[in-house]
Chain A
Amino acid sequence: MADGQKKVRRGLSYQRRKELYGYGFIGLWLVGTAIFFILPLVKSLIFSFSKVTIDTGETVTRWVGLDKYRYALFSDRLYTEYLGDTLLETLWKTPLVLIFSLFIAVLLNHKFRGRTVARAIFFLPVIIATGPVYAIISGDMGTSGSTGAEQFSTMFSTDLVGKLLEFLGIYGLSSGMSSMISTVADNIFGIVWSSGIQILLFLAALQNIPPQAREAAIMEGATEWEYFWKIIFPCVSPFILANLIFTVIDAFTNPMNKVMGRIHDMKEEWLFGEASAMAWIYFGIILASVGIVTVIVNKFIYYEVD
């Protein structure tokens, strides 16, 4: 047997053999993916086009075309409302998270005492921020938790921002502007807490900038401000894309978001078809957003090496 195998092997070209080894390495994953990813994916796509009934433990599907999609988009008030909310929130939160994390990364990149501690603190949310703990902290779980969140957000409340602006002599700010500022201020917690990974990625990018670049810039008389825009920004711009995509996906697939909650509720009510259709619409939106973001940002990025 061993001989036979050897002969077969000798018959194969080196390239072909490496190809087989490649399949060998990914084989386990391939099997798993077929069973635990592709199959459910296809099934859920079928569910979304049919009326699903549970019959003695078997799911029976009957083709109904686009009915469930129509239901999700036009009949289910909550779903479309949540969808709009989530999209809007992602839209304004993502740039803020990026700006914030770049800002913090630039600060943390300087050498100063307590740098490791500061880094550890800013990364801490990643350890906690995805679980039910976060739901309790941010006060979403149940109605009773909200008091905690209220108490927290009073620290950065509308009043405070308004007072501050008045103190600075800014009166009569347009209501749109002031409501925007107060939303941001109210959500500072959410922004800080979803920036952990982004800060780290930017930090890694910043550390790739050679110190000579800074020296040269200072010799030429560049201010910090110019240095940031002329050197730092172009150097980290490729990472902005990575971070952007990460932030968008993170925002969309966060189990705490309302659309996910709605899909989960539908499932609890055994409305499998509706739930699947909702999930697929949502997924389509995620794909589209990531695609649009990639195309747009790619136009502005500066790649040092390609």
Chain B
Amino acid sequence: MAEGQSPDKGYIRRKNAANIAGALFRYTVLFGLGFVVMYPLLYMISCSFREHGDMSDPTVIWIPRHYTLSVIRETMQAMDFWDTLQNTLVMNIGCSLVQVASCAVTGYGFARFSFKGKGLLFGVVIMMILVPTQVIALPLYTQFRYFGIGNFTVNLIDSMLTMYLPAMTGNGIRSGLMILIFRQFFKGLPRELEDAAYIDGCGPFMTFVRIMVPNAASAFLTVFLFSVVFYWNDHYVSSTFFTSTKTLSLMLENLDSQLFGSSASEISPREKIVWKEAGCLLSISPMLIMYVFLQKYFTEGIERSGLVG
């Protein structure tokens, strides 16, 4: 009846109702799934600050009954946290820097120059994305173990060079993907920029350094951040090449034996979770801190890097 009198009002009311229902639906779904995403993190935080006895207490789910910092302290000690952290940071940032540089140069080469065999070589880049590390890890190991020509070989296993050398030459962790990203990005930049530089007598390399790099600053940052994350999370490559070098992800894997040693059976598996979760929290905390501050470069960077399309 009311609708009969003024159809406009009815329309607006229906529309409002639909909007509110839509918003409600959206918030419910996002909140629910957001909780699924955050669950492990919240659980980690909750576990790391409780006494291990609380794990067996059925009344404790989220909020610990006994707060303690000793779990964190013990885990830190077992992981040799500060030394390991420093080690990991230096290696990650160093590798990422050289990797970004080498991938950018390569990507630019693929984006702007035409040369014989380009199609084939770009196929190799795609192969680098597709081939699982496991396929080449083994020969790589022997290669690094006896690195050199003929009788002049050095043992590079356990040295940082096993990480730096591939990164330097654009063959580090997920380098193929990064070369691809840079190629797409540089392809998207207008050619006029370089033509102007060429006419002014700038050589291709200086053009790259002076004109293209400043224009690609945001892409550089994004790729760099991703590179840090990839290196941080890697443990396959590092566990292949390192036997005694400490990185956070390796220490986390060995946390069990480090902490409990021979007394492993005395603490119930359920209670061990406390230390494991503390270890997780410790080893991702630097990444989390970085993510909180640089979040926008991660999410916006992908959209703008030109990878899409």
**A and B: interacting chains:** yes
| Chain B residues within an 8 Å CB radius of A127 | 229, 284, 287-288, 291, 298
Give Cα A146–Cα B150 distance, bound, in whole angstroms.
49
How near does chain B come to A290, taking the closest CB pair, in angstroms? 7
- Say yes or no: B287 contacts A59, CB within 8 Å: no
Proximity string of chain A (52-76) to chain B, C-beta cutoff 8 Å, 1 when within and 0 when not = 0000010100000000000000000
- Say yes or no: A276 contacts B138, CB within 8 Å: yes
Give Cα A208–Cα B303 distance, bound, in whole angstroms.
10
Say whether A32 faces chain B, with CB atoms less than 8 Å apart.
Answer: yes
Secondary structure type dominating chain A contacts: helix
Closest to B30 in A: A118
Closest to B264 in A: A144
Known: A18-B114, A44-B136, A121-B37. Is A131-B124 also a contact (CB below 8 A)?
no
How near does chain A come to B243, taking the closest CB pair, in angstroms? 13
- Say yes or no: A112 contacts B26, CB within 8 Å: yes
Proximity string of chain B (272-304) to chain A, C-beta cutoff 8 Å, 1 when within and 0 when not = 110011011001100110010001101100110
From B26, B113, B138, B272, contact of A21 by CB (8 A): B113
Closest to A48 in B: B135
- Say yes or no: A22 contacts B37, CB within 8 Å: no
Q: Which bucket holds chain B's interface residue count?
A: 35 or more
- Say yes or no: B134 contacts A133, CB within 8 Å: no
Say whether B146 faces chain A, with CB atoms less than 8 Å apart.
Answer: yes
In the A-B complex, the 10 residue pairs with the smallest Cβ-Cβ separation, listed nearest first, are A32-B169, A22-B113, A25-B109, A144-B269, A131-B233, A43-B139, A40-B139, A29-B170, A40-B136, A22-B115
Say whether A244 faces chain B, with CB atoms less than 8 Å apart.
Answer: no
- Say yes or no: A249 contacts B135, CB within 8 Å: no
A–B complex contacts, Cβ < 8 Å, 21 sampled? A20-B115, A26-B110, A28-B102, A29-B170, A32-B170, A33-B128, A36-B143, A36-B165, A40-B137, A41-B131, A41-B135, A41-B139, A116-B295, A116-B296, A123-B299, A124-B38, A126-B229, A131-B234, A133-B249, A264-B134, A264-B236
- Say yes or no: B34 contacts A122, CB within 8 Å: yes
How near does chain A come to B96, taking the closest CB pair, in angstroms? 14
Known: A32-B102, A107-B29, A192-B36. Is A275-B170 also a contact (CB below 8 A)?
no
- Say yes or no: A110 contacts B26, CB within 8 Å: yes
- Say yes or no: A152 contacts B39, CB within 8 Å: yes
- Say yes or no: A252 contacts B29, CB within 8 Å: no
Say whether B105 faces chain A, with CB atoms less than 8 Å apart.
Answer: yes
- Say yes or no: A32 contacts B121, CB within 8 Å: no
Give Cα A134–Cα B132 distance, bound, in whole angstroms.
19
CB contact list, A132-176 vs B, under 8 A: 132-133, 136-137, 141-145, 147-148, 152, 155
- Say yes or no: B171 contacts A286, CB within 8 Å: no
CB contact list, A1-43 vs B, under 8 A: 18-26, 28-33, 35-41, 43
| Chain B residues within an 8 Å CB radius of A200 | 299, 302-303
Give Cα A120–Cα B256 distance, bound, in whole angstroms.
32
- Say yes or no: B169 contacts A31, CB within 8 Å: yes
| Chain A residues within an 8 Å CB radius of B129 | 249
